[in-house]
Structure 1
Amino acid sequence: MSSSFLSVLIQRQAGKYGDRVALRYRDYKTETWIPVSWNQFAATVKTVSNALIELGIGIQENIAVFSQNKPECLYVDFGAFGIRAVTVPFYATSSEAQVHYMVGDAEIRYIFVGEQLQYDVAFRVMLLGSQLKQIIIFDREVKRDERDQTSIYFDDFLKLGEAHPHQAEVDKRTSESGNGDLANILYTSGTTGDSKGVMLHHSCYEAAIPAHDERFPQLGDQDVIMNFLPFTHVFERAWTCWCLSMGCTLSINLRPADIQKTIKEIRPTAMCSVPRFWEKVYAGVQEKINETTGLKKKLMLDAIKVGREHNLDYVYKGLTPPPVLHMKYKFYEKTIYSLLKKTIGIENGRFFPTAGAAIPPAVQEFVLSVGINMVAGYGLTESTATVACENDNDHVVGSVGRIMPHVQVRIGENNEIMLRGEGITHGYYKKEAATKAAFTEDGWFHTGDAGYIKDEHLFLTERIKDLFKTSNGKYIAPQAIEAKLVVDRYIDQISIIADERKFVSALIIPEYKLVKEYAAKKGIRYESMEELLQKPEIIDLFKERIDTLQQQFAHYEQIKRFTLLPHPFSMERGELTNTLKIKRNVLNKNYAAEIEKMYEE
């Protein structure tokens, strides 16, 4: 029996690449990026495996990693895979209640934490009484609670395995590892109810990774990757395993808010992200166009028009663009497009997988028009990420690409997308009823997403569970309306209300900066954001913009009333999941008064 792929991956790559750089992380004190070679990476993984055995970690025992993106997350992951342990990553923003639940559910004895915030939460959970035995802290700057007698820092943990006291046991476990072993339990942040632990076995990764090699032969050991999404997220996690297997260099972004800065420091060739990143880029460019006048404005608008024609009408349809159009495109490529890419920090960018939510068509069109190779895709935690995705010059706006070679898809009743294949989870940890409900008798997994396949491309239409039925019996797909409106530069976030209501309304988080600028320009006086957002001039501004954008919707789908909110939706108030999806049931509760007011006669 051969060892599981991930249990030997780093050691194998060290044998191949030696002192080449495997990953970099940012030192915030010196504002420099510290390189780690493949040899150093492999040595640390070996030490972690020994230290875990020193702690008494058993075969298939669960250990938790509660941290933002740090190299240590990868050291622990691969060190654990080497001894057949299971890693359970928690989002860095998880609340005390969530951590308490996951630690209990997965019977965690050892938890690795990143910074002060995670340490404080983990220590409070420990005080509540659980089987947590020890906290191991990545960041030396973390101040321990004076009651804390057991926690250790990561460098002290490494000392336990430095002399490799258990190497014979490590080697034995590695050789006995196989794809039937459990690799991870990923708790879904869930827009409804309690989170479920999705079990991903080594077999899931061993099916997904070669399928990506087949779909993207262009990824290789010259690529520089920016790790921007949390390693906890299945998209970044599976992508990272694949990138490491291809010998790419990882650049680990610690704080999501810093991405605008770190991406310019690294200038990566590839990065996976969620549509929100590109929505911000799109809004920024729209902003720039609106501030510009005269010839410069004309050129920018023409560049986007030419790009759209060249790429969407010709190149992506496999057609040759007319010579004049091609010349114009080449001119803009050297001037406007390249300046835009440089400004973002992606002038070396080769491809940018994007998934996790619906990509507004206007955003997708714009990004592809200016020659940024954003690759739309679709996947779930339960499918070890990618179910379908595009490839170079294989873009159809609105689609999430072609089905991956290792996945089978069928369209079930209510147009539900059903999945089968090696990459699909075996079920939810210790949740037999939920696992049984998730699969059909003949083994197809229910995604809860509706869609259709046309010309081998998969299109998503809505979340089946998310469909709203108005009190007049009409069905509304809230995401379709939200995706249409969120591209407006004055709208930052939007949530549609319609379920069991007689018409559609919306809660809107405006782009506060732009609203203030508008008020200044129009000479509108106000004391607070609350006051400003209730001014008739501001409400009229939004009404006009919404009406323009929703013309193509049926009358019953159009927003009749809306409320502008003075504060953004937040994770702290439970309104957003860890992956920034809106929790509609929480919004309905938190903004009950505002919602009722919109439906008063």
Structure 2
Amino acid sequence: MGNKLVKMIERQALRYGDREAYRFCWRKEGEWLPTSWEEFRVQIDVAGRALCAMGLKPGERIAICSPNTPQVLITEFGAFRNRAAAIPVYSGSSQEQFDFIAANGNARIIFVGDKGQYPLAYSFWKTHPAQLLRIVVFKNVDLELQPDDDISISWDDFVRTGIHASEQVRYEVEQRAMSGQPDDLATLIYTSGTTGEPKGVEITHANYDAAVEAHFKILHTVTDSDLSMSFLPMSHILEKAWCYFCLSRGIRIAVNYDPRIIQDTIHHVHPNLMCCVPRFWEKVYVAVRSKLSGMNRLQCVMVSHALRIGHRRNLHYRRLGLKVPRLLEMRYRFWDRRLFAVVKRNIGIPNPNMFPTAGAPLSDCIAEFFLSIGIDIKIGYGLSETTATVSCFPDVGYEIGTVGVPLPGLDVKISDEGEILVKGPTVTRGYYKNAEANAQAFTPDGYFRTGDAGYLTPSGALVLTERIKDLFKTANGKYIAPQALESHLAENKYIDEVAVIGEGRKYVSALIVPNFPNLRRWADSHHISYADTAELLASPKVQDFMMSCVEENQQRFAPYERIKRIALLPHHFSVMNGEVTNTLKVRRPVVAKRYAAEIESMYPQE
């Protein structure tokens, strides 16, 4: 029989042959090298044979801990040919996180990206020598293996193993590939989680098949002439499911190795598709608005007029599927050539198609700005447990302030307690070896409890209000939704990161990481002297100014919801330290513990 994902690359190779399937560049100044569909097929066949030759059996798992590289896809599809599953591990994981995932998932072969992840795998092997068959390193530059390491090999050696595999191994892999079943486990992905220990979410081939089919039905503007940038970690379900969808449509993928240089990469590649988290658009918005604010008065008036034209054309007409009046279209095209196209080129996306965006709330103001200038941000909502997407903006008729409409085939309802419940073919069958979590995760009639609060509009669009575990109650008995505050504060060009505080307190406060380049420029223009960052943040004038920025962006909230005091932090929240997830969502218990002194300083009377 065989599974669709197993057959997909072979089918696309027959269709597209020598046409580009993906491109990749190891170094910032390096050359982007394309790989054809036929070459991609061969790479996967070789990987499948190498895994079999190393002793991997059907039903077992490999783990992949690496920055984004084509080898991630090659090894995953190679595992699928063996009816084995892949465990994606975030490349910035701590040793404790890595050990838990690799041990809990019983990874038999571990693939690591480079010298940054090799120590994780090596240390795990030292404590679990009987579990591992091999460690494979994708990139060996500047890497020195430990003297006693006799289990690790290079990617080149791995490839040679597959090339020289025996006829028996080749036959065995083909038999495995043809015998795959829809309920075979494809991915065991561990939730990063804002609270508690990670749980292994089981995603089957049937889950991916249903997700791809549902996206076929709603994404009408994408074609095989598009180019998608793989920017989010491939260890994240949104990027992984999106890559599989792109491959199923014959869409080329540019694999971005280092997320820190994404702005350079975008300007080299010019993708017209890319999965994003809201933080990306928040930073771009702040940069664009900062540049626009430096214009003279006449230019500012013209920009405001252009944005009103763009808003009217794209949100009042195009959004609703209505014909744009001829004069309005002419005005829009005028401003598109003279302003909007310039902004898009400066971002690095001169010919944008659409940009799926999920993982956290994005303020309506930022969304409307980009939609007005012709960048189609397709806001959605999903979880690892739902194979990414639960809902997303349709091409026509989306409602600002919502996270779109549920995918075809999904049944979404709201519980009496206000929790979003989901049932359908993309929903996980459960957590790996975790009966207690499974009992809590599903209702008696089979709906998955998302843990998110929300409601459905009369038109059927889903509104996400807050992560239920993030809601907190002040000492006055008022419930606060911190993410709503945080997403609005992100609109301010002087604010980079925020963690709203207030559980059991008399009022709401916030830990704030300023946008330091913008704040330093402001301080210099106001003749505030400082020797270092600590002295800058200690300045009463700076503290008053940052509080005024908060006040400016929280006027729409009720008085009891507003932030009364702030503490300025000299550094960003860290993924490595567990303060945020790999999609930059705040882990509130960790932050509350780590910054306890700063928090207490905001409540001097308690």
> What's the TM-score bracket when you normalise by the shorter of the two chains?
over 0.9
Residue 345 (structure 1) aligns with: 348
Measured in 1, the distance between the counterparts of 2:549 and 2:316 equals 28
Q: CA offset at residue 220 of structure 1?
A: 2.0
Q: CA offset at residue 170 of structure 1?
A: 1.0
Unaligned runs of 5+ in 2: none
* SS of residue paired to 1:160: helix
Structure 1 residues 415 and 528: CA distance shift in structure 2, 3 A? same
Contact 1:4 1:202 in 2 (8 A): yes
Residue 8 (structure 1) aligns with: 7
Aligned partner letter, 2:537 = L
* SS of residue paired to 2:437: helix
Contact 2:441 2:448 in 1 (8 A): yes
* SS of residue paired to 1:136: strand
After superposition, give the CA deviation of every residue in 1:405-437 in whole Å (9 maximum; x if it has no partner): 021101112211100011100000000110111
Residue 148 (structure 2) aligns with: 147
Contact 1:352 1:375 in 2 (8 A): yes
1:240 to 239, 243, 261: 243
Is residue 543 of structure 2 the alignment partner of residue 525 of structure 1?
no
Is residue 226 of structure 2 the alignment partner of residue 214 of structure 1?
no
Q: CA offset at residue 568 of structure 1?
A: 1.2
**Which residues of 2 match residues 275-354 of structure 1 at below 5 A?**
275-354=278-357
* TM-score, length-scaled by structure 2: 0.97
Residue 43 (structure 2) aligns with: 44
Unaligned runs of 5+ in 1: none
Structure 1 residues 307 and 29: CA distance shift in structure 2, 3 A? closer
Deviates more, 1:468-477 or 1:316-325: 316-325
Residue 563 (structure 2) aligns with: 559
Measured in 2, the distance between the counterparts of 1:310 and 1:392 equals 15
Measured in 1, the distance between the counterparts of 2:117 and 2:493 equals 35
Measured in 2, the distance between the counterparts of 1:109 and 1:508 equals 43
Residue 111 (structure 2) aligns with: 112
Measured in 2, the distance between the counterparts of 1:467 and 1:505 equals 14
Deviates more, 1:138-147 or 1:195-204: 138-147
* TM-score, length-scaled by structure 1: 0.98
Residue 444 (structure 1) aligns with: 447
Aligned partner letter, 1:136 = V
**Which residues of 2 match residues 458-469 of structure 1 at below 5 A?**
458-469=462-473
Residue 597 (structure 2) aligns with: 593
Measured in 2, the distance between the counterparts of 1:377 and 1:476 equals 23
2:363 to 360, 363, 388: 360
Residue 375 (structure 2) aligns with: 372
Contact 2:499 2:510 in 1 (8 A): yes
* SS of residue paired to 1:297: helix
Residue 71 (structure 1) aligns with: 70
Contact 1:275 1:355 in 2 (8 A): yes
Q: CA offset at residue 372 of structure 1?
A: 0.6
Aligned partner letter, 1:98 = Q
Measured in 1, the distance between the counterparts of 2:66 and 2:26 equals 16
Measured in 1, the distance between the counterparts of 2:578 and 2:26 equals 32
Residue 547 (structure 1) aligns with: 551
Contact 1:94 1:578 in 2 (8 A): no
Aligned partner letter, 1:475 = Y
* SS of residue paired to 2:135: strand
Measured in 2, the distance between the counterparts of 1:30 and 1:347 equals 21
* SS of residue paired to 2:291: helix
Measured in 1, the distance between the counterparts of 2:165 and 2:495 equals 56
After superposition, give the CA deviation of every residue in 1:522-542 in whole Å (9 maximum; x if it has no partner): 111112211211212111212
* SS of residue paired to 1:358: coil
Measured in 1, the distance between the counterparts of 2:79 and 2:188 equals 13
**Root-mean-square deviation over aligned CA pairs:** 1.3
Residue 504 (structure 1) aligns with: 508
Measured in 2, the distance between the counterparts of 1:17 and 1:550 equals 52
* SS of residue paired to 1:117: coil
Is residue 24 of structure 2 the alignment partner of residue 25 of structure 1?
yes
Contact 1:197 1:429 in 2 (8 A): yes
Aligned partner letter, 1:159 = R
Is residue 544 of structure 2 the alignment partner of residue 535 of structure 1?
no
Structure 1 residues 30 and 343: CA distance shift in structure 2, 3 A? closer
Contact 1:208 1:406 in 2 (8 A): no
Contact 1:410 1:418 in 2 (8 A): yes
1:184 to 187, 193, 199: 187
* SS of residue paired to 2:531: coil
Residue 583 (structure 1) aligns with: 587
Is residue 170 of structure 2 the alignment partner of residue 171 of structure 1?
no
* SS of residue paired to 2:456: strand
Aligned partner letter, 2:314 = N
Contact 2:222 2:353 in 1 (8 A): no
Residue 134 (structure 2) aligns with: 134
Contact 1:411 1:417 in 2 (8 A): yes
Contact 2:48 2:79 in 1 (8 A): yes
Deviates more, 1:42-51 or 1:301-310: 301-310
* SS of residue paired to 2:403: strand
Q: CA offset at residue 320 of structure 1?
A: 4.1
* SS of residue paired to 2:117: helix
Q: CA offset at residue 89 of structure 1?
A: 0.7
Residue 473 (structure 1) aligns with: 477
Measured in 2, the distance between the counterparts of 1:246 and 1:487 equals 35
Q: CA offset at residue 30 of structure 1?
A: 5.8
Q: CA offset at residue 147 of structure 1?
A: 2.3
